[in-house]
Amino acid sequence: MKPEVHAVAPSVALLQLQKLGVCYDQGQLATARWILRDVDLTVHDGEFVTIMGSSGAGKSTLLNVVAQTLAPSAGRIVFGGHTVGGEGMPLQPGSGRRIGYVTQDDNLLPWRTVWDNVMFPLTLAGKPSASDVERAQRLVEQVGLTQWTGHYPHQLSGGMRKRASLARTLAYDPPVVLMDEPFGALDAETRAQLQADLLALWASERKTILFVTHDINEAIALGDRVVVLCGSPGRVALERHLDIPRPRDPETIFKAPSFAGHYDAIRACLRSGGQP
């Protein structure tokens, strides 16, 4: 893996959630339980945002709304200055291939090899071009799976499956990548290696990432900013810029001078449920 370099501070608003609300029983708004309400969030081009929150606060729901697999009940989603989602607007899953989604499960197709899994989204759009194939080969190499392209998912370790899933998502080059606790089920060592590899990939690919995690260390090690969702309905209870210089080493991030301050603020918010 190449060392992580991310010198340019992200500044252009790419994705905006404005007064976003979700309830799952839209037929009866008077009695419906709102899962998210009045969520305002601006994500900048190239930014790495980590999202934390208590279980049930609506983190996965938020990603599903951004991925446009779930329609918001209120508010709107603005992508690159254009409204792409909102109440009453038709869903456009993946927002026209501009959004990639790495879910908690890797969702690899068991009957396809690693290579065929990585190429799968590209083949859906027709015959992949030579540059598509070249890009996929480079990604497979970057995630360390070159020797494993002919293997099937059941022949891979959990970490390798995550790597394959990441390469598949990046293969079609979406500018935004959503990741929902992708490393949650991995052992500590594999997880630390994948975090480092993800940072290197992010630096070379220049993606905008929204990454849900339950691990405060992971949120601080990876993010430019951490956003904490709390309450019922969930709302943004804390936004904290993580001023730790890059490149970062996730395994030793706790040694950074500002780490303890960030950790304490995030933990306090999570414990209080966002109450001051």
- Is 58 a binding residue for ligand ADP by CB under 6 A? The answer is yes
Nearest distance, CB of residue 242 and ligand ADP, angstroms: 21
- Is 237 a binding residue for ligand ADP by CB under 6 A? The answer is no
- Is 184 a binding residue for ligand ADP by CB under 6 A? The answer is no
Task: Tell me the window of 39-47, 56-64, 250-258, 264-272 that interacts with ligand ADP (CB under 6 A).
Answer: 56-64
CB-wise, 51 or 192, nearer to ligand ADP?
A: 51
Measured in whole angstroms, the distance separating CA 187 from the mean position of its chain's CA atoms is: 20
Residue whose pair of structure tokens reads 């990876």 in the numeric block:
222
- Is 117 a binding residue for ligand ADP by CB under 6 A? The answer is no
- Is 60 a binding residue for ligand ADP by CB under 6 A? The answer is yes
Contact 129, 111 (CB under 8 A): no
Binding residues for ligand ADP, rule CB under 6 A, total 10
- Applying CB under 6 A, which of residues 31, 55, 147, 275 lies at the interface with ligand ADP? 55
CB-wise, 56 or 273, nearer to ligand ADP?
A: 56
CB-wise, 39 or 253, nearer to ligand ADP?
A: 39
- Applying CB under 6 A, which of residues 49, 57, 194, 219 lies at the interface with ligand ADP? 57
- Is 67 a binding residue for ligand ADP by CB under 6 A? The answer is no
For the chain, the C-alpha Rg in angstroms (whole number) is 19
- Is 56 a binding residue for ligand ADP by CB under 6 A? The answer is yes
- Is 61 a binding residue for ligand ADP by CB under 6 A? The answer is yes
Nearest distance, CB of residue 13 and ligand ADP, angstroms: 24
Site for ligand ADP in 15-54 (CB under 6 A): 24, 35, 53
Q: Which residues bind ligand ADP (CB under 6 A)?
A: 24, 35, 53, 55-61
